[in-house]
Each structure stands twice: as structure tokens, then as C-alpha cells.
Amino acid sequence: MAESFQELDRDGTHLVGYIECDYQTLVDCFGEPKPEHCDGYKTDVEWRVAENSLSYPIAIYNWKNGKNYCGRFGLPVKDIKRWNIGGKNGSDVSLIEQVLGTGKNEMDEVESIIHQMVEDSDVPVESVAYIIIGDDE
């Protein structure tokens, strides 16, 4: 079994782009965000999506626009529409956009989509295996 995303080191990842979607779409696709991924200051929620062959997580998070950072003037997470993507390159944003565009929320379907994306892009399957979303526990 591949590592869960909580066990992966986030060092070396950085802001690589943005996505526009609502909070509920992210929850429907990736499940509830995990509180332990947030810093409690500049972020309010964060999802970590990792491809096990990359050995780093792709993070989806709000940044300095929620209640944690802005207090009473911050947006409730359910009203946030612009999300930061943390990763190592711009293709991480494309991956998240493609997964979100599917509207799938079943792990097997998401893995199948990722596998198909790899085949369609001529990227060797060995370099991008499957996507791990959330914690099965």
C-alpha cells in the first residue's frame, strides 16, 4: 500500500497556480479537508492530493482570505471560490483541474482518470502511478 498523504513531506512544494471552484465541489471530489494540514493562521482549510510516484503532495488551500487570517472580515470557507495549488510545477494545477472537471468522487474512478491522463499525455506510466486522496481511516 502506498503512503498516505499525511506521511509525505511537503518540503520543496510551492505555489504553482490557482483554481476557481466552490468549497463544496472540493469536498465532493476530495472529501472533507483535514484540520491538521492547516497552519491555523494564514490558511483555514487544506486538502493534500499526492501522486505516489511523485512522492510529494499537491495541496489545495485558501491563503490569507479566511477567518483565521482576516478575523471577522475573512470569508467563511464555504464562500471561498479561489484556491491556491501548491506543488512542484504547473502540471500539478492541470492535474487538479482535470480531476475536478470529472465530478468523480470514488477512489477507483479517480485512479482510472489519472491513469488515462497519463496514457493520453505520453508520460511514462512509471513516472506517474496513481493519485492518493485522503486517508482511508
| pLDDT of 37 | 84
3-class SS of residue 20: strand
* Interval 34-52: pLDDT, tens: 888 888 899 999 998 865 5
pLDDT at 129 over 50: no
pLDDT at 122 over 50: yes
> 91-102 and 23-30 helices cross at what angle (nearest 10)?
90
Average pLDDT of the residues in 54-77: 91
pLDDT at 111 over 70: no
Q: What are the boundaries of each domain within the chain?
A: 5-133
Count how many residues are written for the chain.
Answer: 137
Average pLDDT of the residues in 57-81: 95
* Interval 6-36: pLDDT, tens: 444 566 789 999 999 999 999 998 889 988 8
Tell me how far the alpha carbon of residue 10 is from its chain's centroid.
Answer: 12
